[in-house]
Amino acid sequence: MKIVLCCASGMSTSMLVKKMQEAAVKKGVDVNISACPVTELDVKASDANVILLGPQVRYELANVKSNFGDRAGVDAIDPRDYGMMRGDKVLAHAIEIAK
């Protein structure tokens, strides 16, 4: 499964990607997790199973759903999970919405 986290510049989600990867190893889940800015979604998320938007780009949710919703699970990351870097919770949410 390919999960793409999206934020304003692609930098702030890198720590969350690492936490999610650690959680995936613990759970034995085979995933590819990456981060990118919202402006690069067309290139970086074309084959994603799940696209999760960081709180700072949550306003793009309807647009991303209209562009990718037919082929990927799309949602916003819970701001509390994002702020606390709860990689396990974000991973569980991604798995739940995967198409």
Catalytic sites, residue numbers: 7
User: What per-residue string of b and e applies to 23-62 under the rule 16 or more CB within 10 Å gives b?
Assistant: bbeeeeeebebbbbebeebeebbeebbbbbbbbbbeebbe
CA-CA distance, 2 to 31, in Å (whole number)?
6
